[in-house]
Amino acid sequence: MRHLSALCFTFLGKVGVFVNETTARVNEIIELTGIDIVQLHGKEPSQYCQKLERKVIKAFKIASNFNLEQIRAYEVDAYLLDTCGKGIYGGTGESFDWEIAKRAKRYGRIILGGLNPGNIKAAVGQVSPYAVDIGSGVEIRPGKKER
């Protein structure tokens, strides 16, 4: 049993996903729901993250011209790297250049997004991320999981 518990991530718990919400509202929702982790997908500045009362995962939309220095400003518990989609905040299920994720590991824990059943093994093998996010990568349509 001890061996199994050692394999568990420190990010187990209820995750609340927010996009451009006020810190007051996020903290209110934390109080009401007991959320353990806050995942931010909007244009929240680095100072915003320090005002939250839980662990924070900050998502970054990765495009070919992504500047890794953007990550440096954020002192959060993990960085979620996801594919940049026009007009949406994450959840594309599309992959991006994993070399960017490999270089981003120098800033801390990387959670790799843009994964699906067809690419997850290769992605984990190449990047060795802290964790993976496969949410939309296993949907047959938005909000409907197939696997």
How many structural domains compose the chain?
1
pLDDT digits (tens, 9 = 90+) for 76-111: 999 999 876 666 555 566 678 889 889 999 988 888
Range of the domain at 111: 2-145
CATH number at residue 111: 3.20.20.70
d(CA 14, CA 8): 15
d(CA 111, CA 106): 13
The structure's pTM equals 0.80
Confidence of residue 142 (pLDDT cuts 50, 70, 90): low
d(CA 113, CA 33): 25
Tell me which amino acid residue 133 is.
D
Is the distance from CB of 71 to CB of 51 less than 8 angstroms? Answer: no
Q: Around Cβ 127, how many Cβ atoms within 10 Å?
A: 19
Tell me which amino acid residue 27 is.
N
